[in-house]
A and B are shown apart, each in its own frame.
Chain A
Amino acid sequence: MNKRPSSASMPTSLKRDYVPSADDVLVGWAQQGDTEAFEQLVFRHRDKIYARAMLMMRNEEEALDLSQEAWVKSWQRLHQFQGDSSFATWMTRIVINLCLDQIRRQKKTRSESIEQLEEDAGGVERQMPVEIINPTEGLEKTELRSRIDEAMSKLTDAHRAVLIMHEFDGLQYKEIADRIGISIGTVMSRLFYARRRLASLLQSLRRERTE
């Protein structure tokens, strides 16, 4: 790491007030090498970045490792941040890319069981009528959040990644296709299967609750 002036070595008159400063101000300071400004950014967004890694990987250890790696990468590439998007969005994209790389690496060595095929190919849902019922009916907000989480954990990596990038990162089909390296058609079909699966899982969870 380069040796750069930190606020600790600054005269008191120039001492920076990090806590109330906006992200773009902190980024500006961090771009000058101010690690305390960067620490404040980490403190502010660490849960969101960790949550994104956790959603993608479904594994606490991996999520911690990848979220920390994302912060290191962002420090290294901070000079590339031009402010075209918010800092949080930029960070999220870094952690998503790291997760995608990790999933690709795992795919090379891990052979998924044939039982998973049912889910990935659409499985039982393929044969159900194309019906997606409003899943919010009869569920409390906090309960729905945990059910969505539970249902998402049952999707395959491929389906979950597309769903997260589309729903939570607001990426368009083409952006997702470019980042994963698949066609737009594949993005569309993965998203559709993921949604059907999610709707079906939410419905069955709701049925369990009412029984």
Chain B
Amino acid sequence: MKTETCLEIQAYVDGELDASRRATVEHLCATDPEARQLSEGLAALRSAVRAHEPEFQVPETREFYWSQIQRRMSAASAAAPVTVAGSAWTQWMRWLVPLAGAAAVVSLLTLPSREGQATATLASMSPTPAYAAPASSIIYRSDTDGVTVHWIN
């Protein structure tokens, strides 16, 4: 079975198809046992997984967990669930702080380093900016084999 057909059947099971594509898949499942089996298998798996979501409990007491959140809420300077009109200085700071941060980052990336290594390291860690949305990929590396694989999605 072709990839497209498998994905179309899956989209059918997930309720993602419009009426005409739905009818096409229904016809396929009615005539092709392999397609029907895949559709039924996917539906069974879907409902089994949805009905058995793994459960976890916070491994700390309610009081301790809340106290940690409270501490972080206090530390967060901009904790403001109610919108309060700030002073002119506050309004300016809202823009100035991110701008100053951005300037600091730019300076770090562009200042020449003595060895020329720090700059190269920082620059090579950031994604290549010159291209508009290239395909995403997952990178695998084996030092022993001397192989890097970029599996493109």
Q: Do chains A and B touch in the complex (CB under 8 A)?
A: yes
Over the window 1-27 of chain B, the binary record of Cβ atoms lying under 8 Å from chain A Cβ atoms (1 yes, 0 no) is 101001100110010100000000000
Chain B positions within 8 Å of A, measured between CB atoms, are: 1, 3, 6-7, 10-11, 14, 16, 34, 37-38, 40-42, 44-46, 48-50, 52-60, 62, 65-66, 68-70, 72-74, 76, 78-84, 125, 136, 138-142, 145, 147, 149, 151, 153
Q: Is A16 an interface residue (CB 8 A)?
A: no
Q: Is A79 an interface residue (CB 8 A)?
A: yes
Over the window 45-74 of chain A, the binary record of Cβ atoms lying under 8 Å from chain B Cβ atoms (1 yes, 0 no) is 011001100110000100110011101100
Secondary structure at chain A's binding surface: helix, strand, loop or mixed? Answer: helix
Q: List 17 A-B contacts (CB under 8 A).
A: A1-B73, A50-B56, A51-B53, A51-B56, A72-B76, A72-B79, A79-B81, A109-B125, A113-B141, A117-B149, A134-B41, A168-B50, A168-B53, A173-B14, A186-B153, A189-B7, A199-B45
Contact B83 A79 (CB under 8 A): yes
Q: Is A102 an interface residue (CB 8 A)?
A: no
- State in angstroms the CA–CA spacing of A136 and B138 once bound together: 32
Contact B52 A145 (CB under 8 A): yes
Contact A130 B140 (CB under 8 A): no
Kindly list chain B residues whose C-beta atoms are within 8 Å of the C-beta of A68: 65, 68-69, 72
- State in angstroms the CA–CA spacing of A152 and B52 once bound together: 12
Q: A32-B82, A132-B41 are in contact. Are A146 and B139 (CB under 8 A)?
A: no
Kindly list chain A residues whose C-beta atoms are within 8 Å of the C-beta of B79: 1-2, 72, 75-76
